């Protein structure tokens, strides 16, 4: 008797995409923080990544996976971004919600807090309140006195073929530029010790991260193209976009005014496009393979979880990458029209 179609051949369901968030932290020198993940990491092993990680119950509730809101920017994603940044690099982005001033905690206390939070001995929120009764993660506007501190900058959903999948909200966060006293009221100046400082990130002792460092986005891209570090497509693309605005010149000295102008230009870009980069949802799909064996990834699909929604990705650019043994090499960004034309020209010459 012929076997009924489908008997014993259940289609493998894609893994549920776990919610996570990452932050592209821009220093007072307009440099970007990357972390070097340990070789034993279950994801992005040995790669350089933005600080971030999975949402935890302590970050607050997240809608269920079948709800489109599960993939949307919200308090739990924001809380996780700031918490993971602190755990992985020691950089604390928290404020006194009464005064709006940033929270300053000495290094020894911060290091102890990182360990306790990572070991689940205390929640990030409780630890903050131990330092200051009205302290909270810097995730919200304060009485509309300043711009949103965490700026959404694309959302990525891992392709369904991957055994481990994530739905990751990316954010931009600009640390204040060095203070210009002539442009500020005296009472608005930060305390001594906070002025003109570039924070020094540190690893978490090798638990997940072996190194944490600020460098210009262009320098990170150059290191990746030389094969010195591993950058996966999301990190490479976003660094590529950031570099186009923050690294316009190679001069060693750039004025505060110029750095502010570059930030403003990047902000204008982030809020541009259709949809704007703040609301692009990207689940990479293979478009083709180049003659030299690299995969061309299209970025316009939002992923299966958002099918039927109005979410869309980036239709003009593609990422080229050579995947080898779980690693990503020879990554570049190209215009989609150019990548498609190269294939057609190659066939016409045969």
Judged against a pLDDT cut of 60, whether residue 28 lies above it is answered with: yes
Per-residue pLDDT reduced to its tens digit, 222-244: 999 999 999 999 999 999 999 99
Judged against a pLDDT cut of 50, whether residue 192 lies above it is answered with: no
Q: Of 3.90.79.10, 3.40.50.300, 3.30.450.20, 3.40.50.1220, which CATH number belongs to 20-348?
A: 3.90.79.10
Judged against a pLDDT cut of 60, whether residue 101 lies above it is answered with: yes
Judged against a pLDDT cut of 50, whether residue 190 lies above it is answered with: no
Per-residue pLDDT reduced to its tens digit, 291-316: 999 999 999 999 999 999 999 999 99
Hey, which of 5-9, 158-162, 204-208 has the most confident mean pLDDT? 158-162
Confidence of residue 106 (pLDDT cuts 50, 70, 90): very high
* Selected residue with higher pLDDT from 143 and 311: 311
Confidence of residue 193 (pLDDT cuts 50, 70, 90): very low
* Selected residue with higher pLDDT from 240 and 4: 240
Per-residue pLDDT reduced to its tens digit, 31-63: 999 999 887 666 777 899 999 999 999 999 999
Domain-by-domain residue ranges, the chain?
Answer: 20-348
- Total-model pTM: 0.89
Note the pLDDT of residue 167: 97
Query: Beta-carbon neighbour count of residue 191 at 10 Å?
Result: 9
Tokens 């993660």 map to which residue?
A: 137
Note the pLDDT of residue 184: 41
């Amino acid at each position: 008797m012929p076997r009924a179609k489908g008997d014993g051949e259940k289609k493998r369901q894609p893994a549920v995409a776990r919610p996570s968030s990452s932050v592209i932290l821009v220093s007072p020198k307009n440099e970007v923080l990357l972390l070097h993940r340990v070789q034993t990491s279950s994801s992005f092993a040995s790669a350089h990544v933005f600080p971030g990680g999975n949402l935890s119950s302590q970050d607050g509730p997240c809608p269920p996976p079948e709800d489109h809101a599960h993939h949307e920017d919200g308090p739990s994603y924001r809380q996780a971004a700031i918490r993971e940044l602190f755990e992985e690099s020691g950089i604390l982005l928290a404020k006194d919600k009464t005064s709006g001033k940033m929270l300053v905690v000495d290094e020894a206390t911060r290091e102890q807090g990182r360990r306790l939070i990572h070991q689940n001995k205390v929640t990030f929120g409780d630890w903050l309140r131990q330092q200051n009764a009205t302290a909270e993660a810097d995730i919200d506007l304060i009485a509309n006195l300043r711009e949103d501190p965490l700026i959404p900058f694309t959302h990525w959903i891992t392709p369904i073929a991957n055994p481990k999948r994530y739905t990751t909200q990316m954010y931009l966060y600009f640390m204040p530029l060095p203070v210009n006293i002539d442009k500020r009221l005296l009472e608005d100046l930060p305390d001594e010790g906070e002025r003109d400082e570039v924070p020094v990130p540190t690893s978490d002792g090798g638990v997940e991260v072996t190194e944490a460092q600020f460098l210009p986005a262009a320098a990170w891209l150059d290191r990746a193209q030389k094969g010195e570090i591993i950058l996966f497509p999301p990190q490479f693309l976003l660094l590529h976009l950031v570099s186009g605005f923050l690294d316009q010149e190679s001069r060693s000295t750039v004025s505060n005014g110029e750095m502010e102008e570059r930030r403003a230009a990047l902000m204008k870009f982030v809020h541009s496009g259709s949809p704007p980069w703040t609301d692009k949802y990207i689940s990479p799909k293979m478009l083709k393979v180049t003659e030299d064996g690299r995969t061309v990834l299209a970025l316009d699909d939002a992923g299966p979880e958002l099918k039927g929604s109005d979410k869309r990705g980036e239709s003009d650019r593609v990422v080229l990458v050579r995947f080898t043994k779980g690693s990503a090499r020879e990554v570049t960004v190209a215009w989609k029209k150019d990548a498609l034309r190269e294939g057609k020209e190659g066939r016409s010459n045969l």
